[in-house]
Each structure stands twice: as C-alpha cells, then as structure tokens.
Amino acid sequence: MTDIIVIGGGIAGVSAAARLSEGARVTLVEGESALGYHASGRSAALFEQNYGLPPVIALNKASAAYHQPYLSPRGFLLVARAGEDDGFEADAKTLKCPEISVAEARSHVPILNDHIIRAAYHADAWDIDTDRMIQDFAKTVRANGGQVLTGHKVTAITRGKAWTVRCGDVVLSADTLVNAAGAWADQVATMAGVHPIGITPHRRSMARLPAPAGHDVSAWPIFFGVGEAWYAKPDAGKLLVSPADEDAVEPHDAWADDLVLAEGLDRYSQHVTSPVARVETSWAGLRSFAPDRCLVLGRDAQVPDFVWCAGQGGYGFQTAPAASQLLADLVLGAAPEIEAATLESLSPARF
C-alpha cells in the first residue's frame, strides 16, 4: 500500500511525485521503459519566462529560481519580413523582446537573408538540461522512500475504499490517484470513472539539419518567425527546425508528418540564405492542451481523491518546479504560494 499513485513519468508526473514524496509515500508508474519517453523527451528544452498565457507565465516566473542549476545561455531572436509588422510588434510586446537592427540580428544569426526587415532580441532565454532535471526529480522520489516503476502500463483502475491500479500482473493501491498521463490524461480519467475534461494532444514536428554552410551554431539564439510559424534552435552542433505545427491527433507514439515538415522547412527557408539541403532525422512529440490552453492542477471537483496534473502543452519543463509544488500543496494541505486568481485559472473546477 502506498499513499499516492502518480500515473505518468514525464516531467509533469516525476516532478509531482518528487514534491509529493516530501510528505507522503508515493509510487510513480510509467508505461514506457524510460522516464520522459514521449513529450518530455522530445521537448525544445527552452526556458522563456514570457512564453504562454498569463497563468503559465506566473508559473514560469515562480519556477525561475529552481531552474538555475539546469540552465545555460541561449537567447531569443524574433525576425519579420515585409507585411508582418503587426504580428511582429504583437509578438515582441508579448515576449518583452526589444527591437534591434537587422544588422545586429545578423550578428546573432549570420544566415538571415535580405527579406528580413525587422528583428527583436533578448538574452533571457535559456537551454534546459531536461534529462538531468527528470533524473533529479526521480532521485528525490527514491530518496524519500518512494518507488519509480517504468515499464508498467496501466491496464485497469478501480475505486473502492482506495484506488486500485493494475499494471498487468502488478496491483497497486493508494488513497489518492494523480493523473499525469500527458496525452493519455483523458483516457486515464475515463478508465478511473472520472469525467474527462477535454485534454487534446497536438503534434509538434521537428527536423535536425546539418549546421548551415558549415557555421558554428553553438552560440546562436533560438530564432522564430512571426506568429510562431516556425522556429530554429541550435542543438549539439546541428540546427533543429520546427514548423511549430499543432495538429490535433489521438494519443500515440508520434512521428513527423512529411508534408507538414516540408511546409515548415519552406517557411524557415524563406528567411535564410542557406537552403535546406538535407534532413538528418525527424521526429514529433505531443503537446497536450486543455480547452483553454492552461494547465489543469488539483483535485477533481466531483472525485476529490483523483488529482489532475495535465494540460502542460508546450510549457511542461518551464512550469514544472512551481506547478509540482502547487500540486503538492493542494494535495498535502499546505497553503499555496500562487495568487488566488492564478490558482482559480488552473483548477479542474473551471470545467
């Protein structure tokens, strides 16, 4: 018997399990053979405090101090072509990104072509060591006497005096069940007899390209087109380019759609001098959103011993430190530090 079962071994589940393990016996179950296999293992791994809706930004800012040991400098560059002024100004304002000259933009990313007419930049965007963060949270669970079980796919959930979670031949019981199943969050809720809330996975594709024209890209910032129509990010001497797609799909082990990827690479190519000659590899992850695109954190309004930790969208790593602490406060009976308006906007009771 354990106090709390957490279903899902992505960053949402493992961070929640770590925080909860400070005050309860916790068992984390993950169906795949490793933690962070799906969305968390395919993240852009960027910490940008101003990215997301206001409740997400509040969690980002509350997470900043925790992130520091996991961060390395990256920077953020927004570029625009003719006719994109309104979108550029809106994006720059939202992201608190001061405008710079095109010449300065090219000093950051020298392959920008002559179609670029405006640019904005700030240095306060950071790479996250996502694997180390996941593993450190898992170490915390174990150090506090909890269990981290990978390769344990949930096959049945029943509720009597306590929750019973069956993973094949393994049967677990706990008073509280935390649903951190990412793209599968609504399916887990249905399995548990809890009303789903409309968590929808959306595919996000990525291509890895050789460094353009032999450039050393290691110090380049992440750079975006207006309206997040595409983005490019240095990674281990290569360049990752995404069409920033958000196509609603069923939960599955995602892969890139070739046509969507080609269209995104074409949008990227319209901003640079080096054509895309070769894609080394491609993949996709699932960004799962609630209907209002904010996270869902807390006890279910109808079944209070069922706890939602879902709808992280593209903000899972950015928000994880504060989101997991908030969840633990709500479950363990501590006073949350997040302000009341933000707390309300994240509560499952809003649906």
CATH number of the domain residue 309 falls in: 3.50.50.60
Handedness of CA 223, 228, 275, 81 (dihedral sign): negative
* 3-class secondary-structure state, position 1: coil
pLDDT in tens, 14-42: 999 999 999 999 999 999 999 998 877 67
Judge whether 109 and 128 are in contact, CB under 8 Å. no
Q: What's the whole-number average pLDDT of the chain? A: 95
Query: 240 and 314: one domain?
Result: no
194 lies in some domain: yes
Query: 230 and 319: one domain?
Result: no
140 lies in some domain: yes
Helices 316-332 and 11-20 meet at what angle, rounded to 10?
A: 30
pLDDT class of 13 with cuts at 50, 70, 90? very high
Query: 108 and 85: one domain?
Result: yes
Mean pLDDT of 114-125: 97
Mean pLDDT of 38-54: 85
Burial class (CB in 10 A: 0-12, 13-18, 19+), 216: exposed
Counted domains in the chain? 2
Domain ends where: 236, 266, 285? 285
Query: 206 and 277: one domain?
Result: yes
Per-residue pLDDT, 39: 72
Query: 191 and 249: one domain?
Result: no
227 lies in some domain: yes
pLDDT class of 277 with cuts at 50, 70, 90? confident
pLDDT class of 1 with cuts at 50, 70, 90? confident
Per-residue pLDDT, 214: 87
Query: 33 and 165: one domain?
Result: yes
pLDDT in tens, 58-106: 999 999 999 999 999 999 999 999 999 999 999 999 999 999 999 999 9
- Percent of the chain at pLDDT > 70 equals 100
Mean pLDDT of 250-268: 94
CATH number of the domain residue 235 falls in: 3.30.9.10
70 lies in some domain: no
Residues 6 or more apart whose Cβ sits within 8 Å of residue 62: 321, 322, 337, 338
Per-residue pLDDT, 44: 81
Per-residue pLDDT, 244: 94
Query: 31 and 157: one domain?
Result: yes
192 lies in some domain: yes
Query: 97 and 141: one domain?
Result: no
Per-residue pLDDT, 203: 95
- Percent of the chain at pLDDT > 90 equals 93
Query: 222 and 115: one domain?
Result: yes
51 lies in some domain: no
Q: Which two tokens stand for residue 105?
A: 């933009």
Domain ends where: 254, 285, 316? 285
Three-class SS of 197-240: CCCEEEEEEEEEECCHHHCCCCCCCEEEEHHHCCEEEEECCEEE
54 lies in some domain: no
The residue segments making up the domain with residue 108 are: 76-122+202-285
Query: 206 and 279: one domain?
Result: yes
Query: 235 and 275: one domain?
Result: yes
**Residue bearing tokens 């180390």:** 132
61 lies in some domain: no
Mean pLDDT of 170-182: 97
Mean pLDDT of 170-181: 97
Sheet architecture: strand order including 126-128: 46-47, 126-128, 71-73
Radius of gyration of the chain (CA): 21
pLDDT in tens, 185-241: 999 999 999 999 999 999 999 999 999 998 999 999 999 999 999 999 999 999 999
Q: Which one-letter amino acid corresponds to residue 131?
A: D
Query: 133 and 273: one domain?
Result: no
Domain ends where: 255, 285, 315? 285
pLDDT exceeds cutoff 90 at 3: yes
